[in-house]
Amino acid sequence: MGMREAIGSGEFIITGEVAPPKGCHLEHMVEEGEYYRGRVAGINVTDIQSSVMRAGSLVGCLKLKEAGLPPVLQMVCRDRNRLALQSELLSACALGIEDVLCLTGDHTTLGDHPQAKPVFDLDSVSLIKAAKRLTEGKDMAYYKDFRSGDIVDGEELDGDPPDFCLGCVVNPGAVPIEPQIYKLMKKIEAGAEFCQTQAVYDAVLFEEFMTKLGDVPIPILAGVVVLKSPMMAKYMNANVAGVKVPEWMMDELKEKEGRVQRSIEMHAKLITELKPLCQGVHMMPLGWDKHVPAILDLAGL
């Protein structure tokens, strides 16, 4: 099942996430993807996550597809200009990969190559627009034809156009929240068909966000980053904008003995509380993929 089929079904949508390695052997990444088999509409493959150099999303998606798993291509604007972004979108389509999550991307100064020059030729909204325009059979070309003097606004693609199902992200814990909602509306207007959120740990705060957001024509999938330790929770509170891990969750993870089971139980409880508020969840286990089935089972998914 791909994203558009899942959206059309009207059922609660589950997506997952894996990360390519800092190397050229992707077998372990595919093994992590196996934990999602038969349970998810799509598996995001991160695109140079956190600006740390690693193998790319496109090859990761191809490996998942070859294994019979449903990939979602993540694309960030940080590293490529509009030529390269459009080219990679066409390449993805040629490989049968048409579910795409469009992001602006973390700045290079946050990663392991802080000297790298950022590009940011496009942002997430304009990348969605560019991808949507490709589905209409035209690219982003814009120039003056020196022979006719006419302005060329888009070159025609050869053959049938791609049929991308485009996704976007939102941070429901951002303060103030209004700019996030405004930008989400721009993404929907540009052609986004689904939305995955930043990590959510408080169902009450998430409900407040959904109330302010109101009715939108696309499904919102609440992001769930699986916590492994109180140190991880403290790091997220200190360094991830808009994310607040409550004290009770940190308390649950203090004792090492039985920590994994308590983590499974508290994330299942969280998902159970989130289910009535949104149309799906996006699981981000950060290496704990093997525990995702237990979390989903306990949450009744």
Q: What is the pLDDT of residue 277?
A: 97
Per-residue pLDDT of the chain (301 residues; tens, 9 = 90+): 799 999 999 999 999 999 999 999 999 999 999 999 999 999 999 999 999 999 999 999 999 999 999 999 999 999 999 999 999 999 999 999 999 999 999 999 999 999 999 999 999 999 999 999 999 999 999 888 888 888 988 899 999 999 999 999 999 999 999 999 999 999 999 999 999 999 999 999 999 999 999 999 999 999 999 999 989 999 988 888 888 899 999 988 998 899 999 999 999 999 999 999 999 999 999 889 999 999 999 999 9
Q: What is the pLDDT of residue 147?
A: 86
Q: Which single residue is written with the structure tokens 């994203």?
A: 3
For residue 130, the Cα-to-chain-centroid distance in whole angstroms is: 18
Q: What is the pLDDT of residue 196?
A: 98
CATH of residue 251: 3.20.20.220
Q: How many domains does the chain have?
A: 1
Q: What is the pLDDT of residue 17?
A: 97
Task: Tell me the C-alpha distance between 61 and 57, whole Å.
Answer: 6
Task: Tell me the C-alpha distance between 36 and 40, whole Å.
Answer: 6
Q: What b/e sequence results for 104-131 when a residue is b if at least 16 CB atoms lie within 10 Å of its CB, and e otherwise?
A: bbbebeebeeeebeebeebbbbbbbbbb
Q: Which domain holds residue 212?
A: 3-298
Task: Tell me the C-alpha distance between 221 and 267, whole Å.
Answer: 15
- Which helix (H) or strand (E) covers residue 272, if one does? helix 259-274
Q: What is the pLDDT of residue 146?
A: 82
Spell out the alpha helix ranges (H) of 43-154: 57-66, 82-94, 124-135
CB atoms within 10 A of CB 85: 23
Record the tokens describing residue 63, joined without a space: 């490996």
